[in-house]
């Protein structure tokens, strides 16, 4: 059986990563590729790394062009996917890489995005408690934000086990591709190289409510989240540093055992050997999450560090993993188990 | 009057930055340049950017070679400066860029460095309360660590004003030059580029007690410090993100006013306009500290971000600033007021 | 049928890239992994990106440990592969990623490497004229150097067609991984980032005779080669700029037609659409060669630019491609047809 | 005496670098700062590294705003400076950092820029033969292009001494700031990092006729120039590799002696010790040119490598050096003699 797939937003970074993965996915046929302003141009002009698709001409993102596929990936700016999805058949698996359908609470959406909520879809993070069940046979899937992917997996075991108090501080260092191909001065190479800078500080980043939603569900109580993203001079990768006050004195070995157990059997989440700390470079192009946890006895805090590739596990890889689960394919199909390093 | 200056450790990164600043400092005569294994070679072989000194031959780091100067800068691995300083006259201004004389508590030193404490010298961070008084006419100065420079200035006003509880979480993203010219695999360009990685996690970094010392002095009570350094792919710069629970509900404007007042008149500490957040690139090669502060109302935390150049304000610039104060020179002499960007 | 493969030099950059490719190659079983000083340690300590092999313990590089495999890859410093290969059976396919067996002329070897020549093996660049024939059923294969891979493919069509005079100037900008994991000061991240530097200038680089050998064979006459490598701040990639005097006035379209014809049907060599010029980023992690050619009418020179990933097509990918041909597997098996970008 | 200076184009990269240098120049008063679309905003919004000027409001670029200064620097897109200069007094020193007045030949201008030629001004490269004489007391100065600065100094001595034939091949690796703050997709950090790419290939770059003009003047005969610029992932720096056929067999020592003599006494041009090759990092923020030359005996070519900072010596530093000469100030005033490294 061949699964026929369409990608809307094929000329962006998320769309490009998705196509890279789909090209190596056995049993996938790549159908319509669509975009907005670049419709009518060959894909090679925008994604020169996708050599096998270089001559494919990009169509316009319309429900008509996306119809007739088994799976439709929407890698669009937020606010656009609801309407298109409504015009695709209910049997079509629609996977939204944007933000529209991640939040369960319409008021949250309204507060952070200022527009009408398009509804909530099953959340595509299989490694969260109950995550896989939500995805099996789903026909609508909301792919998590890149920051909540790393941060939720970093903190979920500790919250579920009651190791920490529900008051977490997260600083996540991200590569520039997370901002997409936006023509903004601060994203120019000349500005980015050699520079680290914080943005969306003080709880202003739109991924904040998604953190709270995920962590609160795991903890069974509201979780206070202080989140600061930092832009670093690298194209890909998110290094999440998450700390929280210990609920009670805890030995580092106990903390490690909690994480070891939580992620035993997970194909993509790897707790590193004791004493090793993750680097984002080791995850580039892979669907892996590399994790380490310890206890700061003086500060009485748990410290967890997680590395992912924001475009792979944080976006397109997570999307493919969810697709695999929804379609009953092997969960790891088409997903690189090793990173590209150095 | 010309001040005659010697630099021990002239072939390292800190020594090189010091010489760059001293070359542009009016009224300085650069005397002996010494090193360990590279003694006998021309400086240009190690510091090709210091064109005016390229032909100077590096001597061995001995008290004899360093004698006869008004000022001796020691940019040495820790453990080496105490003995040399003891053999230099009491009238000589000795400025230690290493860690040996920063900590006031011998037990702290013993715990973190495992060797005998060499004694405490006046601490070279003029912008801390009482900082300038400690340095006037000093003849021994301990230059702060690069992380505590940024982090202490980020948090001191809030602690002094009682805005926050004495329980701070600091994540500091640093360039690679902070590790010096050490031949370690994880510092190779191939490993560093495209990668962010945490190290010294869980309170294991040796700058942790220096944070606690500085912040505790300002707060007038012990301060709990969770500190995580993150290595980022840039040669220079430290971006410090510091958060702490608010002592009481505080308006962002009030927080800004506290910082504005604390650093009014400081030549090198700049609170950015509201809404602007600092980037390390803007500080490269300068002695500036760029700061911003806000309140995360949901998380009930104060968030401060500070950018410095780890080699300039964080090491060699801080050293020159302290020298200026100790010798009664203009505090800003020889210190770039503008960064090199992009 | 499963092909059992051993990798000597598994902890280096070339070995790591090889393992990344082999992990995704259908029908390969990864057997012995060996190294020199790091024997006895888990692979994950050196190659944290190869998650599926993290717990594999590295053995010592000996003929005994490498025996009993269908294919043995040798990713060793030059001078070591001849002796080991001699002790492996003649039926074993031995693929040398080092320099030992690339040069046909023993005097050339002696001049450039100063040691005794270990003999010449079939040369693993299938896209050169006659390249595939040399590799079918081969049991010893010399993988080309990374620079000659890009430069030979850039110039071969023009020389074969007589477009240019046999006097070429090549400047190749390379990422740092080409130098391996060597602990040399100029390869430190602090030195590399933000810097471009030439090395091996004036014909001093050891790949020079390999260029001359390849290009001379294609041209049917000696070719004079001026080759300058430039180190750039990126982990991977080689951008080769090759120019040569036109043999006679030539229209750019004619030049393009020559290249188009030369590489028609090649699975990995892609002549870009007119007006597009290759960037190394588009080749990262793939086995592709991206090419463009034009004529500088004023300077009366042909100009060709080629981009490859030095570790993939330039080393490990070329090795796997040659293995596929020697074993009668599909030539493209296990070789990414798309790069990892951005 | 204080020299009052205005800068048009103050919010761009060239303008920013100029202001950085002028801030440290003794005896300069910084007057009007003007721009186009960003007029009316504070400079700190665009140039956060220029802390002392952060609150200065940018005016509009008009002759009125620029009048009343001793020196007016024009850092504008080409095509704009002629008209403004015509409206400034003849006693005003007008220094154009753009391309408008560099070319001596109106037909050349017309061919490469497609508009009417605005006239030729004295050329601001003092190190060329006769260069200083052209600048003394000049009241109009054309600052060279960044590529011709490095490339002309790399080749002038060899051409003047007749070491090489007038047929040169230049490949220049440049940082991204040379393209200015243009919002183009290929200049985004995500695209630039990890990538090398050629552009303006085949003689298409507009600096080509400027090379030919400079080199032809030195050689006393037409010089054929093949020029290829390569974009590399670094904010600043140009590494020029220039090769040309030897006129006759030449010993490397003889070539070095020619360069040594040509640049003896030059404050900013440094021939490195034999065996050392320049890296751009060593020039960052300085006005230096680091040079090395050798002979490739096999290829019978001279090879010269030169490193500069494109924004300093290649643009703003060259402009200040020319200003100093025109005003009779010390030539090196305000120009860093040491780079910022690592």
Q: What is the pLDDT of residues A316-329, one digit of tens each?
A: 999 999 999 999 99
State the average pLDDT over residues A204-232. 97
Tell me chain C's radius of gyration from C-alpha atoms.
19
Measure in Å the smallest separation between the Cα of B337 and chain D Cα atoms.
7
Contacts of D52 in chain B (CB under 8 A): 337-338
Q: What are phi and psi of C203, to 5 degrees?
A: 85, 20
CB of C230 less than 8 A from some CB of D: yes
8 Å CB contact of C194 and D281: yes
Write out the two tokens for B57.
Answer: 């031959």
Q: Is the pLDDT of residue C304 over 90?
A: yes
Q: How far apart are CA C173 and CA C240, in angstroms?
A: 6
Alpha carbon distances (Å) from B139 to B10, B94, C167, D220: 21, 6, 66, 62
Each residue's pLDDT tens digit, D298-339: 999 999 999 999 999 999 999 999 999 999 999 999 999 999
Tell me chain D's radius of gyration from C-alpha atoms.
19
CB of C296 less than 8 A from some CB of D: yes
Q: Which pLDDT score, from 0 to 100, does residue D101 have?
A: 98
DSSP letters for A260-279: HHHTTT-SSEEEPPTT---B
Q: What's the mean pLDDT when you consider all of chain C?
A: 97
Q: What's the mean pLDDT when you consider all of chain B?
A: 97
8 Å CB contact of A189 and D235: yes
Element (H, E) at A160: helix A146-160
CB of C41 less than 8 A from some CB of D: no
Each residue's pLDDT tens digit, B293-334: 999 999 999 999 999 999 999 999 999 999 999 999 999 999
B107 CB-contact burial (10 Å; exposed 0-12 / middle 13-18 / buried 19+):
exposed
Q: How far apart are CA D150 and CA D129, in angstroms?
A: 15
Write out the two tokens for A217.
Answer: 């569900």
Q: Is residue D244 within 8 Å of residue D165, measured between CB atoms?
A: yes
Measure in Å the smallest separation between the Cα of D226 and chain A Cα atoms.
27
> For a pLDDT cut of 90, what percent of chain A falls above it?
99
Q: Is the pLDDT of residue C31 over 80?
A: yes
Q: Is the pLDDT of residue A115 over 80?
A: yes
Q: Which pLDDT score, from 0 to 100, does residue C158 have?
A: 98
pTM: 0.98
Report residues of chain D scoring pLDDT below 70: none
Listed residue (D143, D119, D67, D134) closest to D326, CA to CA: D134
Q: How far apart are CA B133 and CA B129, in angstroms?
A: 9
Q: What's the mean pLDDT when you consider all of chain A?
A: 97
Each residue's pLDDT tens digit, D254-278: 999 999 999 999 999 999 999 999 9
Write out the two tokens for A151.
Answer: 């941060």
Q: How far apart are CA B140 and CA B77, in angstroms?
A: 17
Contacts of range A24-28, beta carbons closer than 8 Å, 24 or more positions apart: A24/A334, A24/A336, A24/C24, A24/C336, A24/C338, A25/A320, A25/A333, A25/A334, A26/A333, A26/A334, A27/A1, A27/A2, A27/A3, A27/A329, A27/A333, A28/A2, A28/A3, A28/A334
Alpha carbon distances (Å) from B157 to A58, B252, B261, B293, C131: 55, 14, 9, 11, 70
CB of B313 less than 8 A from some CB of D: no
Each residue's pLDDT tens digit, A155-193: 999 999 999 999 999 999 999 999 999 999 999 999 999
Q: Is residue A13 within 8 Å of residue A81, measured between CB atoms?
A: no
CB of D237 less than 8 A from some CB of B: no
**CA C180 to chain centroid:** 13
State the average pLDDT over residues A130-146. 97
In 3-state terms, what secondary structure has residue A71? strand
Beta-carbon contacts below 8 Å between A and B: 183
In degrees, rounded to 5, the angle at the alpha carbon of residue B310 between the alpha carbons of residues C180 and B150 is 135
Q: Is the pLDDT of residue B1 over 90?
A: no
Measure in Å the smallest separation between the Cα of D298 and chain C Cα atoms.
7
DSSP letters for C167-199: EEEEEEEE-GGGG-S---GGGBHHHHTT--EE-
Beta-carbon contacts below 8 Å between A and C: 116
Active-site residues of B, by number, are 146
**CA A299 to chain centroid:** 31
8 Å CB contact of A341 and C48: yes
Q: Which pLDDT score, from 0 to 100, does residue C1 have?
A: 74
Half-sphere exposure of A22 (CA within 13 A, CB side): 29
Q: How far apart are CA C195 and CA B193, in angstroms?
A: 13
In degrees, rounded to 5, the angle at the alpha carbon of residue B287 between the alpha carbons of residues B285 and B291 is 110
CB of D154 less than 8 A from some CB of B: no
State the average pLDDT over residues B41-52. 98
What end-to-end distance do the CA atoms of chain C give, in Å? 37
**CA D307 to chain centroid:** 12
Element (H, E) at B33: strand B28-35
Write out the two tokens for B133.
Answer: 């008084």
Q: Which pLDDT score, from 0 to 100, does residue C324 have?
A: 98
> For a pLDDT cut of 70, what percent of chain C falls above it?
100
CB of B230 less than 8 A from some CB of A: yes
Residue of B nearest to C11 (CA): B185
Write out the two tokens for A45.
Answer: 């002009």
What residues does B57 pair with on adjacent strands?
B42
Residue C248 CB: number of other CB atoms within 10 A? 9
Q: Which pLDDT score, from 0 to 100, does residue D73 have?
A: 98
Q: Is residue B141 within 8 Å of residue B135, measured between CB atoms?
A: yes
Half-sphere exposure of C125 (CA within 13 A, CB side): 25
Contacts of D283 in chain B (CB under 8 A): 49
Contacts of D188 in chain A (CB under 8 A): 176, 181, 183, 187-189
8 Å CB contact of B340 and D282: no
Q: How far apart are CA A279 and CA B176, in angstroms?
A: 14
8 Å CB contact of A199 and B277: yes
Q: Which pLDDT score, from 0 to 100, does residue D1 have?
A: 74
Q: Is residue B294 within 8 Å of residue B331, measured between CB atoms?
A: no
Residue of C nearest to A179 (CA): C342
Q: Is residue C77 within 8 Å of residue C15, measured between CB atoms?
A: no
Alpha carbon distances (Å) from B218 to B104, B127, B156, B222, B259: 14, 12, 6, 10, 14
Contacts of B13 in chain D (CB under 8 A): 342
Q: Is residue D143 within 8 Å of residue D318, measured between CB atoms?
A: yes
Each residue's pLDDT tens digit, B12-38: 999 999 999 999 999 999 999 999 999
CB of A27 less than 8 A from some CB of C: no
Q: What are phi and psi of D50, to 5 degrees?
A: -95, 65
Each residue's pLDDT tens digit, D23-53: 999 999 999 999 999 999 999 999 999 999 9
Return the residue in C198, C272, C301 with the most chain D beta carbons within 10 A, the one to mutate for interface testing: C198
Listed residue (A70, A91, A74) closest to A5, CA to CA: A70
Alpha carbon distances (Å) from D238 to B82, B276, D234, D244: 44, 32, 10, 19
Write out the two tokens for A317.
Answer: 């890889």
> For a pLDDT cut of 90, what percent of chain B falls above it?
99
Kindly give the residue spans of alpha helices, DSSP state H, lying in chain D. 13-23, 63-66, 81-86, 106-113, 131-135, 146-160, 189-192, 208-219, 252-262, 317-327
CB of A24 less than 8 A from some CB of C: yes
Q: Is the pLDDT of residue B65 over 90?
A: yes
Q: Is the pLDDT of residue A74 over 80?
A: yes
Active-site residues of C, by number, are 146
What residues does A243 pair with on adjacent strands?
A169, A303
Report the greatest alpha carbon distance in chain A: 61
Chains contacting B (3 or more CB pairs within 8 Å): A, C, D
Contacts of C340 in chain A (CB under 8 A): 20, 49, 284-285, 340
Q: What are phi and psi of C215, to 5 degrees?
A: -70, -35
Q: Which pLDDT score, from 0 to 100, does residue A12 have?
A: 98
Q: Is residue D175 within 8 Å of residue D222, measured between CB atoms?
A: no
Residues 47-86 of D with CB under 8 A from C: none
Q: Which pLDDT score, from 0 to 100, does residue A1 have?
A: 74
Residue of D nearest to A236 (CA): D190
Give the active site residue among A146, A170, A305, A316: A146
Write out the two tokens for C141.
Answer: 């294969």
Write out the two tokens for C286.
Answer: 């793939």
Q: Which pLDDT score, from 0 to 100, does residue A2 have?
A: 93
Say which residues have a Cβ less than 8 Å from residue A70's Cβ, sequence separation at least 6.
A3, A4, A5, A92, A93, A327
In 3-state terms, what secondary structure has residue D36? coil
Q: Which domains does chain B have, with CATH numbers?
A: 3-142+313-327 (3.40.50.720), 147-310 (3.30.360.10)
In this complex, which of B42, B44, B339 lies closest to D49 when CB atoms are compared?
B339
Q: Is residue A312 within 8 Å of residue A21, measured between CB atoms?
A: yes
């Amino acid at each position: 059986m061949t699964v026929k797939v369409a990608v809307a937003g094929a000329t962006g970074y998320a769309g490009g990563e998705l196509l890279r993965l789909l090209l190596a996915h056995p049993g996938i046929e790549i159908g319509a590729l669509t975009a907005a302003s670049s419709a009518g141009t060959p894909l090679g002009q925008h994604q020169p790394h996708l050599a096998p698709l270089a001559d494919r001409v990009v169509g316009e993102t319309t429900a008509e062009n996306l119809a007739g596929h088994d799976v439709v990936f929407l890698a669009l700016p937020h606010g656009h996917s609801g309407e298109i999805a409504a015009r695709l058949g209910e049997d079509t698996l629609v996977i939204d890489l944007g933000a529209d359908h991640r939040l369960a609470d319409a008021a949250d959406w309204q507060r952070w995005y200022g527009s009408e909520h398009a509804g909530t879809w099953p959340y595509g993070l299989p490694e969260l408690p109950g995550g896989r069940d939500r995805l099996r046979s789903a026909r609508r899937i909301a792919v998590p934000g890149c920051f909540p992917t790393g941060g939720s997996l970093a903190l979920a075991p500790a919250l579920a086990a009651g190791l920490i108090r529900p008051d977490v501080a997260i600083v996540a260092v991200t590569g520039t591709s997370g901002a997409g191909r936006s023509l903004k001065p601060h994203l120019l190479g000349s500005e980015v190289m050699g520079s680290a800078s914080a943005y969306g500080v003080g709880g202003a980043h739109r991924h904040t409510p998604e953190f709270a939603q995920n962590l609160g569900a795991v903890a069974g109580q509201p979780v206070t989240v202080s989140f600061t993203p930092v832009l670093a001079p690298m194209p890909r990768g998110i290094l999440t540093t998450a700390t929280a006050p210990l609920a009670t004195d805890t030995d580092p070995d106990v903390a490690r055992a909690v994480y070891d157990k939580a992620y035993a059997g997970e194909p993509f989440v790897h707790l590193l050997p004791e004493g090793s700390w993750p680097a984002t470079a080791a995850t580039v192009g892979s669907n892996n999450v590399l994790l380490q946890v310890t206890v700061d006895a003086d500060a009485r805090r748990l410290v967890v560090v997680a590395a992912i590739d924001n475009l792979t596990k944080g976006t397109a890889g997570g999307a493919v993993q969810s697709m695999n689960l929804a379609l009953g394919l092997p969960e790891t199909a088409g997903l690189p188990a090793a990173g590209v390093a150095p």
